[in-house]
């Protein structure tokens, strides 16, 4: 769908790569693949089959 999601959910998880891959196998669409971000998280975004946007992350390191 070309519409923006009505709901966005952000979760911190132990293993973002595993959760991301499980979600894709269950029918979620990868919007932003998981990658290391400058703020210290490993982060990605998915859209679920119901139109909700999920951002999931694992915190890797603190930045001063």
Q: What does the pLDDT look like over 3-50, one tens digit per residue? A: 666 778 999 999 999 999 999 999 999 999 999 999 999 999 999 998
Q: Report the topology of domain 8-59.
A: 3.30.720
Q: Evaluate if residue 2 carries a pLDDT over 80.
A: no
Q: Evaluate if residue 1 carries a pLDDT over 90.
A: no
Give, in order, the Cα–Cα distances in Å from 8 to each of 11, 49, 54, 55, 61. 10, 13, 6, 7, 24
DSSP 3-42: SPPS-EEEEE-S-HHHHHHHHHHTT-EEEEEEEE-TTSEE
pLDDT at residue 36, rounded to an integer: 97
């Amino acid at each position: 769908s070309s519409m923006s999601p009505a709901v966005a959910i952000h979760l911190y998880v132990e293993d973002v790569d595993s959760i991301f891959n499980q979600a894709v196998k269950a029918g979620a669409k990868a919007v932003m693949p998981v990658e290391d971000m400058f703020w210290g998280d490993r982060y990605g975004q998915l859209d679920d089959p119901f139109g909700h946007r999920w951002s999931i992350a694992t915190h890797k390191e603190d930045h001063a």
